[in-house]
Amino acid sequence: MGCDSQGETLERGVTVVAKYQVNEKAVAKVRQLIDGRQYVLNSDWGEVQPSADDQNAYLERHSWDEYAAWHLGLTVGANDETKARYAFVCGDLRRVHRSGLIACVYRASEWRHKSVELAAHDLLQRLDAATG
């Protein structure tokens, strides 16, 4: 799951919103990428966000831990080593994208996932400070 809609509508118009916790390993990975200058400042997130096929190909060559490190959110109650567990992707599985962090801030704030919103915001501020 990327930074797309986080709610599911059930009967009678009731929307159930998944709950997320911050993936601290991903936060550390993104900090490391920023410090190592592994980022893209100008991109169209809709064009560069990893597709399902991109993610599947990545998982063929990498561990679930490496996959998880690209996602700022962990879905509460979802099993580890399933795509459902990881949300709020912020890079193209090679570099962090400023547009990906902005999308994470936006989607997390839209669905009131405050801890993920703040983590993404802090990373965006770190990136902006590093790049002037």
Assigned domain for 72 exists:
yes
Assigned domain for 30 exists:
yes
Assigned domain for 62 exists:
yes
Assigned domain for 1 exists:
no
Phi, psi of 113 (to 5 degrees): -100, 75
Domain count within the chain:
1
Assigned domain for 113 exists:
yes
Residues spanned by the domain of 100? 7-131
Assigned domain for 2 exists:
no
**Distance in angstroms between the alpha carbons of the first and the last residue of the chain:** 31
Determine the angle formed by the axes of helices 114-131 and 24-35, rounding to 10 degrees. 10
User: Which residue would you say has higher pLDDT here, 88 or 10?
Assistant: 88
List pLDDT tens digits, range 72-116: 999 999 999 999 999 999 999 999 999 999 999 999 999 999 999
What residue has token string 């770190």? 126
Assigned domain for 45 exists:
yes
pLDDT above 70 for 57: yes
Assigned domain for 112 exists:
yes
List pLDDT tens digits, range 12-45: 666 678 999 999 999 999 999 999 999 999 999 9
E strands in 14-98: 15-17, 20-22, 39-40, 71-75, 86-89, 96-97
User: Model-level pTM?
Assistant: 0.89
